[in-house]
Amino acid sequence: MEGTVFRSTGSWYDVRTDEGGAFACRAKGKLRLKGDRSTNPVAIGDRVDFAVEEDGTGVVSRIHERRNRIVRRAVNLARESHVVAANVDRAFLVVTVGEPATSSGFIDRFLVSAEAFGVPTTLVFNKVDAVLPDTREADRLEELEANYAMAGYASVRTSAMTGEGVGDLAQILTAGNNLFSGHSGVGKSSLINRLVPGLELRTSEVSETHGKGKHTTTFAEMFPLPDRAGFIMDTPGIKGFGLVHLDRETLHHHFPELFARLPDCRFHNCLHRTEPGCAVREAAESGEISVERYFNYLELYEGWDEQNSYR
């Protein structure tokens, strides 16, 4: 039989067939894609072949080739990577400028990985109800929106608390697989509850002591969107996003605004660091691209051997 993985607990997988059947499956021993060194051989969104046993459970015997995937470096150093989700049509990175504040370094690591694997991404600035006018948070929100607009990324402002912007967000969900990701505490589960009424995912407040979110989503899971074809892929909150499966010398290819200016550089293999005649550095100096994004690129490049550090 063939189906799609809708839920992954790490050892068991809920697989649904196109006809609507649902089966709790485990992976066949040593099941991995060729060359795979991930912590999880099977991820939500995977198309798999499985056989049903006498007790009604299934055994996954084959993972179909993935169209794409979102991958981060594994926290467990015995493995190289962790597959967040597979066969993603659009990613929605949920971020906040207050508590907890999402750093642009984290945003850019996620976007670089998404670009490398061909996953278009929209930024969701959530909890805007808590952003008061004429405050540091309000200025930061506008700055981030401008920075990523210059880089070619669309964004939407939302509030899971008041419902602001949720309708706009619903309109841009694709008919395919929509991945929601972000730090713990950014309101991802609350947003999904707004988008899928009756779902009632568990939510939690941000820790007042540490200013960080508490994990509420334990497993990766997919939910059908109401009144339309498509799914939301919900994943546990990510503390950090270490890069993997990328080449340091082509890192700048995954910053769209940097890559677009490469033909204008004096050298065709310009890395936009100290080379003379660098169009990217000139664009940063003139304000045509975000200086913050450019500095994040330089920091990623220079610290390439320290990719196990999370922030």
Reported in sequence order, the residue ranges of the chain that DSSP labels E, i.e. its strands, are 2-8, 12-17, 22-27, 47-52, 58-63, 69-73, 81-86, 90-95, 121-125, 155-157, 177-181, 220-224, 231-234
CATH number listed for the domain at residues 2-65: 2.40.50.140
**In the chain, domain spans:** 2-65, 84-234, 248-306
With a CB cutoff of 8 Å and minimum separation 6, the contacts of 83 are 38, 40, 43, 69, 70, 71
197 — phi, psi (to 5°)?
-55, 140
| pLDDT tier at 227, thresholds 50, 70, 90 | confident
| pLDDT tier at 306, thresholds 50, 70, 90 | low
Q: Residue with structure tokens 């984290």? A: 106
pLDDT higher than 50, residue 308: no
pLDDT higher than 70, residue 265: yes
Give the span between the Cα atoms of 267 and 275, in whole angstroms: 8
pLDDT higher than 80, residue 191: yes
Residues 38/82, Cβ–Cβ less than 8 Å: yes
Cα–Cα distances in angstroms (integers) from residue 141 to residues 10, 136, 172, 209, 224, in the given order: 36, 9, 21, 24, 31
> What value does the mean pLDDT of the chain take?
88
172 — phi, psi (to 5°)?
-100, 5
Give the span between the Cα atoms of 186 and 95, in whole angstroms: 6
pLDDT higher than 60, residue 209: no
Burial of 207 (0-12, 13-18, 19+ CB in 10 A): middle
Of the listed ranges 15-19, 171-175, 238-242, 258-262, the least confidently predicted one is 238-242
Helix H or strand E encompassing 308: none
Per DSSP bridges, beta strands 2-8 and 47-52 are: antiparallel
pLDDT higher than 80, residue 129: yes
Residues 69/85, Cβ–Cβ less than 8 Å: yes
Residues 62/21, Cβ–Cβ less than 8 Å: no
Of the listed ranges 121-130, 205-214, 216-225, 286-295, the least confidently predicted one is 205-214
- What is the CATH class of 248-306? mainly alpha
Give alpha helix (H) positions in the chain: 104-116, 136-150, 166-171, 188-195, 256-259, 279-286, 291-302
* 84-234 homologous superfamily: P-loop containing nucleotide triphosphate hydrolases (3.40.50.300)
